Amino acid sequence: MNACVFCDLIEAGDALVADRPAAAAFLPRSPLAPGHTLVVPRRHVVDMFAAEDEDLAATMQLAREVAGALRDVAGAQGVNLLHASGEAAEQSVFHLHFHVVPRWSDDNFTTWPSGRSGRAGDAAPEHRLRRALELP
Amino acid sequence: MNACVFCDLIEAGDALVADRPAAAAFLPRSPLAPGHTLVVPRRHVVDMFAAEDEDLAATMQLAREVAGALRDVAGAQGVNLLHASGEAAEQSVFHLHFHVVPRWSDDNFTTWPSGRSGRAGDAAPEHRLRRALELP
């Protein structure tokens, strides 16, 4: 047993639908859609802020493979990727993960937020972002 | 002018908040939160299905940088990543993009879908996914 339920799942292995050197995939307990899959780095990384580029590259490579498999074997017509980093962003398991959610044009479902942030009235931090990201 | 509004934005350059060899970032017209940023590959790629691993790696590397900048200069306490591939997934601009949405614990906002897919009654395609992704 690890302190992390996703590390336990990876170690046990029997629930995985994909297993790669640096990433793995499995189905969540409460799927939003049939085939909804979680893709994670095998290494315990808490969130995007703590991730190395290699963790993200390997995880997104598998997310792309999962998306293709959902299209090819489950007949999905599209996919959404959903991700949360940080409790304030509604992250619930603190091992980096991406939700790959298959979509159909007739699924009567939306993954786009219906509301907006309560912070929406603040000044846009565009110039500070640009400077932080090294643009004049 | 390109046939793609995001290619136009990248080419013009003045609206970018980050510019990297293979990825760029800019703010959307209708932000969900102050600092909401779009991260895209510079190369025109329609969606995840069409992306090369290099496009995804470069784009996620910049998404991670943008997340860090939102935390450091905009005081975000977390971020969500939201993405759509395919019209059935509510993709509206057909140049691969990831939404990086800053979050605060008091933003009175949720990005997690409130509903579930109308396909939720179908049989789970777990064994087919596993086989497609090369697990026995």
Q: Provide the CB-side half-sphere exposure for B57 (13 A, CA).
A: 11
> Which of A53, A56, A90 lies at the smallest CB-CB distance from B112?
A90
- A109 at interface of B, judged by CB pairs closer than 8 A: yes
The average confidence (pLDDT) of chain B is 94
- B17 at interface of A, judged by CB pairs closer than 8 A: yes
The answer to whether the CB of B24 falls within 8 A of the CB of B44 is no
pLDDT score recorded for residue B65: 97
> Which of B18, B115, B132 lies at the smallest CB-CB distance from A135?
B18
The answer to whether the CB of B103 falls within 8 A of the CB of B78 is yes
Mean pLDDT of A68-86: 96
Q: What is the distance between the alpha carbons of residues B101 and B66, in angstroms, rounded to a whole number?
A: 10
Per-residue DSSP letter, B123 = P
The answer to whether the CB of A85 falls within 8 A of the CB of A47 is yes
Q: Is the pLDDT of residue A104 over 70?
A: yes
- Hey, is B2 helix, strand or coil? coil
**Apex CA B83: angle with CA B79 and CA B87, to 5°?**
155
For chain B, what is the radius of gyration of the CA atoms?
17
| Cβ neighbours of A37 in B, within 8 Å | 129
Number of helices (H), then strands (E), belonging to chain B: the values are 3, 5
pLDDT score recorded for residue A135: 80
What is the edge-to-edge ordering of all strands in the sheet holding A23-26?
A: A16-19, A23-26, A37-41, A98-103, A78-85, B78-85, B98-103, B37-41, B23-26, B16-19
The answer to whether the CB of B86 falls within 8 A of the CB of A101 is no
Query: ipTM greater than 0.90, yes or no?
Result: yes
CB-CB neighbours of A5 under 10 Å: 12
Q: Is the pLDDT of residue A51 over 90?
A: yes
Q: Which residues pair with B24 in a beta bridge?
A: B19, B40
pLDDT score recorded for residue A122: 56
- pLDDT, one tens digit per residue, over B61-118 is 999 999 999 999 989 999 999 999 999 999 999 999 999 999 999 999 999 999 999 9
- B124 at interface of A, judged by CB pairs closer than 8 A: yes
The answer to whether the CB of A17 falls within 8 A of the CB of A26 is yes
pLDDT score recorded for residue A4: 97
Q: What is the distance between the alpha carbons of residues A47 and A57, in angstroms, rounded to a whole number?
A: 14
pLDDT score recorded for residue B136: 75
Query: Which residue, among A51, A73, A57, A69, has the nearest Cα to A21 in the 3D structure?
Result: A57
pLDDT score recorded for residue B113: 96
Residue A116 burial (10 A CB sphere; 0-12, 13-18, 19+) = middle
The answer to whether the CB of B97 falls within 8 A of the CB of B6 is yes
Q: Which residues pair with A80 in a beta bridge?
A: A101, B84
Provide the token pair at A17: 């639908």
- pLDDT, one tens digit per residue, over A8-19 is 999 999 999 999
Q: Is the pLDDT of residue A134 over 60?
A: yes
